Amino acid sequence: MNRIDTHFNVAGDMCAAWIYEPQECQPPSSRPIVVIAHGLTGTRRDGLGSFAERFAQHGCFALVFDHRGFGDSAGEPDLFEPERQLEDWAHAVTFARTWAGVDPDRVVTFGSSMGGGNALAVAALDPRVAAAISQVPFLNIVRQAYRARPTASARMLLAAIRNEYMPAVGQSNEAAFVNAPDSEAGWRHVVSIGEDSRWRNRASSRWLLGRPFNPGRHARRLHCPWLVCVGAADQVARPATAIAAAKRAPRGELRLYPGIDHFDIYDGPGHEAFVADQLDFLERHVLTANERE
From first to last of its 293 residues, the chain has per-residue pLDDT tens of 799 999 999 999 999 999 999 976 555 579 999 999 999 999 999 999 999 999 999 999 999 999 999 999 999 999 999 999 999 999 999 999 999 999 999 999 999 999 999 999 999 999 999 999 999 999 999 999 998 888 999 999 999 999 999 999 999 999 999 999 999 999 999 999 999 999 999 999 999 999 999 999 999 999 999 999 999 999 999 999 999 999 999 999 999 999 999 999 999 999 999 999 999 999 999 997 445 43
pLDDT of residue 290: 44
Q: Is 61 within 8 Å of 19 (Cβ atoms)?
A: yes
Name the β-bridge partners of 20.
3, 62
CA-to-CA distance for 44 and 267, rounded, in angstroms? 16
pLDDT of residue 27: 55
Domain 2-144+214-292 class, CATH top level: alpha beta
What does each C-alpha distance from 204 to 23, 47, 163, 178 come to in angstroms? 40, 23, 7, 13
Q: Is 140 within 8 Å of 216 (Cβ atoms)?
A: yes
pLDDT of residue 147: 86
> Which residues touch 16 (CB under 8 Å, ≥6 apart)?
5, 7, 44, 65, 66, 71, 72, 73
Report domain extents, the chain: 2-144+214-292
pLDDT of residue 159: 96
Q: Is 67 within 8 Å of 218 (Cβ atoms)?
A: no
pLDDT of residue 26: 57
Burial degree of 20 (CB within 10 A; 0-12, 13-18, 19+): buried
Residue from 103, 119, 104, 144 nearest 51 by CA: 119
